[in-house]
Structures are given as C-alpha cells and as structure tokens.
Amino acid sequence: MEFEIKPIAPVPPAEIDFDNLGFTFIPTEKMYVARYEGGAWTDHGLMPVGEFWMHPAAGAYHYGQALFEGTKARLTNDGEIVLFRAGDNARRMADGCRRLMMPAYDEGQFVEAVKQTVLANKAYLPTDEQGALYIRPVMFASGPVLGVKPADEYLFVVFVSPVGPYFKGGFHPIKLKVSKEYHRAPAEGVGSVKAAGNYAAGMYPNSLAKEEGYAELLYLDVNHEHFEEVGAANFFLRKGEELATPSLEDLSILPGYTRESVLQLAVDEGLNAAERDVMLPEIYDADECFCTGTAAVITPIGVVNVEGEDVTIGDGGVGKYSRLFYDQLNAIMLKEAPDKYGWVTTIGKK
C-alpha cells in the first residue's frame, strides 16, 4: 500500500509480562489502514504499526471529527480465536459517521479489517486468564478544513493491544461517584455515538473523582433526576426481580452491546428486564448495581457516593446477578455455553 508512516518498534511478545497486563497500549506488529480520498475509501490493508503525518488543519484536530470503537478477541480453551458481536461495532461506527458527517466504512469490510488485524497480531493474544486482545477501530478526519465543515479526507485504522482488566483489581466491586456538577453528554447531542470528544469532556470530571478514590463518575441527566451511565460503561440497577437500565430514548447514552446482551440474559433468567428512567433515589434501596462494557465486561458496583455520602449497594460485595451474568457472558464468549443469539465468531486458531 502506498502510504507514508513512521514505524513504531513492536514489543516482541516474549518481552511482554502477560500475567500482569493493564489497560495500556503495547505496540504490536500490524495495523489496518484505509484512506478516504476523492469521495471513496481506498488503499485498504495491513501495514506495520506506525505514526501518521497529518495536516495541521486536519478536521479531527480542531473540529473533532473522530470516532472510535472497542471490541475484543479472546482465546478459548481449545486455542480458537473468537470475536464477540464485531458486526455491531461496525454498525455503531456507521451510525456515528452519519451523526458526525463522516464517510461510513462498509460494515462487512470493517469486520474483515478487525479479523485481519487480529490474525496478523495473534502472537499478542493473551490466554483468557491473562486477558484479551483489545481491538480499537478508529476513524478521523485527516483532510484540511478551516471553516466549520466536514473534511474531504479521512483515515480508518484498526490497531490492537493485549489488555488485562479495565478497572483495577478485575472482578471486584468498584466505588463510583454520582456527578451533579458535570454531565457526560446532553440529550439529542452525540452521547449515543462513540465520538472521541465525549471522552475528552469526561477526563477532567473523572480525574476529580479519581483523586477522591472513586473509579469513575456515574452521570445523571441534566435535571439530576435519573441515572445515565458511567464514563465508559452502561449502568444497571436491580431491585428484587427487576433489572433496570437507563433507556436510550434521549440519545445521551451509548447503546452498548454488552448492555444489550445482559438485557437478553436477564429475560432468559426470568427477570423483568426494564429500559426506563432509573431514578436517583432508587440507589438507596437497590439490591445490586453493576456496569457493563467491552472493556469493563461486567463490573460490580459496591459503593455509590451521592452528595458526599457513600451509599453501600446491597452488602457492598459482588451481587448475585453480577456474578451470574459475568459467568454466563464469559461462557458464551469462550464457546463454553451455547451461543443462542449468534454473538460469537471464530476467526482462526492461535
């Protein structure tokens, strides 16, 4: 492929401490790149992981035309490499493209790009006990603009990195802080797509929560009446037989595929799975809360701080359904349980 990059030296797999993976970028061998130019996507293919040179007026830099996705490749006990719902990531990126006026990348080609990138870096795939190969598809405006308008050129890139758990400590209850001062994304804004700017906006408020010892913020709607989501994961609250998660109606919340999968598992368990406004006071007598996401998987929530008061959820430990859905989801993802809904794709062997 004709393309100028400055290669980044890959870390040889033998030098990686796979037993202590965090959630940081480790350069692997290959990334997938496609370029949008002259009204069409072109130059699709694998190349060494490297740095791009971009125009100083690139649209991504000042007007934030940038989207990303996150999915994982995992290794089954039989040495098979599996993906979970990667086609849904493709669709979500296409939705984001429409919202940010970026040129959609073909959904089938997106999945193909993910597969090729994983297989080209399979030496970096941890065992399931160690973690997963995190896959980061990203699209950004590389073409120059000055007036506020969509750029004419874009790059689509897929890179991977071996990762351990997103929240320190793995499957353990985390502490969250309810944010009354900051919001993640307004209704009818871009909260429902994976716009890079949503994450930039969350960094400062999140850093304040971290300074106080909380793993993340739990965001509310602008009227501080109901929950929205965690900075990088969806939110669930169970009381008795009802498992509720905030509805997606006002377009402020990211429609997570882990969220959708858990709603399905909840129905299968005979729970009343509800997508509705989950009101702030419900936190005081919740039986359990957890958050869901590709990176977070299912992370139990032990404590939620509301206006300075630490509210312990249930007994502060891992809730019954947090554990059940964590186990069920992992079993499906690793082909240890039937894949009733066609969520898992086997793409090769290590």
Positions that interact with ligand COI (CB under 6 A): 70, 199, 232, 293-295
Instruction: Confirm or reject binding of residue 258 to ligand PLP (CB under 6 A).
Output: yes
* Closest CB to ligand COI among residues 233, 289: 233
Based on the number of CB atoms within 10 Å of its own CB, is 240 exposed (0-12), middle (13-18) or buried (19 or more)? exposed
292 binds, among ligand COI, ligand PLP, none (CB under 5 to 8 A by kind): ligand PLP
Q: How many CA atoms lie within 13 A of 24 on its CB side?
A: 8
Shortest separation between residue 167's beta carbon and ligand COI, angstroms: 10
Q: How many CA atoms lie within 13 A of 189 on its CB side?
A: 15
User: Per-residue x/- mask for ligand PLP, residues 81 to 120, rule CB under 6 A?
Assistant: ----------------------------------------
Catalytic-role residue among 72, 175, 177, 194: 194
Total of residues contacting ligand PLP (CB under 6 A)? 13
From CA 128, how far away is CA 330, in angstroms rounded?
Answer: 10
Give the residue nearest to ligand PLP (CB): 256
Shortest separation between residue 234's beta carbon and ligand PLP, angstroms: 5
In this chain, which of 10, 13, 27, 70 binds ligand PLP, going by CB under 6 A?
70
Beta strand 216-220 with 174-179: parallel, antiparallel or unpaired?
A: parallel
Q: Is 210 a catalytic residue?
A: no
Based on the number of CB atoms within 10 Å of its own CB, is 274 exposed (0-12), middle (13-18) or buried (19 or more)? middle
Shortest separation between residue 28's beta carbon and ligand COI, angstroms: 17
Instruction: Confirm or reject binding of residue 233 to ligand PLP (CB under 6 A).
Output: yes
From CA 139, how far away is CA 158, in angstroms rounded?
Answer: 9
Angle between helices 107-120 and 86-99 (to 10 degrees): 130
Chain center to CA of 282: 26
252 binds, among ligand PLP, ligand COI, none (CB under 5 to 8 A by kind): none
From CA 346, how far away is CA 335, in angstroms rounded?
Answer: 9
In this chain, which of 96, 165, 293, 302 binds ligand PLP, going by CB under 6 A?
293
List interacting residues with ligand PLP (CB under 6 A): 70, 229, 232-234, 254, 256-259, 292-294
Residues serving a catalytic function are 194
